[in-house]
Amino acid sequence: MQTIPSVLKETTKNNPELAAIVDNGITTSYRDLQNQVLQIAAAFKAKGLSKGDKFAIWAPNCAEWIVTALAGQTLGGVLVTLNTRYKGSEAADIIRRSHCKLLLTVDGFLGLDYPAMLEGEDLPDLKETLILRDKEGNDGFQNLLNFADAPLSEDALDEIGPDDVSDIIFTSGTTGLPKGAVTHHGQNISVFDVFTKAINMQQGDRYLVVNPFFHSFGYKAGWLSCIIRAATIYPLGVFDPGEVLRRIEEDKITVMPGAPTIFQTMMDHPDFEKRDLSSLRLATTGATVIPVDLIRKMHEVIGIDYVYSAYGLTETCGVVSLCQKGDDFETIATTVGRALPETEVIMVDEDGNQVAAGEEGEIWVRGFNTMQGYLDAPEDTARTITPEGWLKTGDVGTMDDKGYLRITDRKKDMIIVGGFNAYPAEIEKWLMQHPDVIEAAVIGMADERLGEVPQAFILARTPEIDTEALIGWTKERISNFKVPRKITVLEELPRNASGKIQKFLLEKM
Q: What is the structure's pLDDT at 318?
A: 95
Confidence band (pLDDT; 50, 70, 90) for 413?
A: confident
Q: What is the structure's pLDDT at 499?
A: 63
Q: Can you tell me the distance from the alpha carbon of 481 to that of 454, in angstroms, rounded to the nearest whole number?
A: 8
Chain mean position to CA 179: 13
Confidence band (pLDDT; 50, 70, 90) for 300?
A: very high
What's this model's pTM, rounded to 2 decimal places? 0.86
Angle of helix 4-14 relative to helix 185-198, nearest 10 degrees?
50
Q: Can you tell me the distance from the alpha carbon of 157 to that of 136, in angstroms, rounded to the nearest whole number?
A: 36
Alpha helices in 75-207 (DSSP H): 88-97, 114-117, 140-147, 185-198
Closest-CA residue to 306 (of 275, 280, 288):
280
Instruction: State mean pLDDT over 362-385.
Output: 96
Q: What is the structure's pLDDT at 483?
A: 96
Q: What is the structure's pLDDT at 33?
A: 98
Confidence band (pLDDT; 50, 70, 90) for 414?
A: confident
pLDDT in tens, 95-128: 999 999 999 999 888 888 999 999 999 999 999 9
Q: Can you tell me the distance from the alpha carbon of 359 to that of 83, in angstroms, rounded to the nearest whole number?
A: 37
pLDDT in tens, 61-70: 999 999 999 9
Return the minimum-mean-pLDDT range out of 83-92, 191-200, 412-421. 412-421
Task: Please determine, for residue 439, whether its predicted confidence score (pLDDT) is greater than 80.
Answer: yes
Which amino acid type is present at position 324? Q
pLDDT in tens, 151-180: 999 998 999 999 999 999 998 655 567 899
Confidence band (pLDDT; 50, 70, 90) for 317?
A: very high
Cα distance between the two ends of the chain: 54
Instruction: State mean pLDDT over 264-273.
Output: 92
What domains are there in the chain, each with its CATH number? 4-238 (3.40.50.12780), 415-508 (3.30.300.30)
In sequence order, the β-bridge partners of residue 501 are 495
| 112-113 vs 338-339, strand pairing mode | unpaired
Give whole-number Cα distances, 252 to 30, 249, 402, in Å: 19, 5, 37
Q: Can you tell me the distance from the alpha carbon of 455 to that of 427, in angstroms, rounded to the nearest whole number?
A: 10
Q: Contact at 8 Å (CB) between 294 and 263?
A: yes
Task: Please determine, for residue 92, whether its predicted confidence score (pLDDT) is greater than 90.
Answer: yes
Instruction: State mean pLDDT over 432-458.
Output: 89
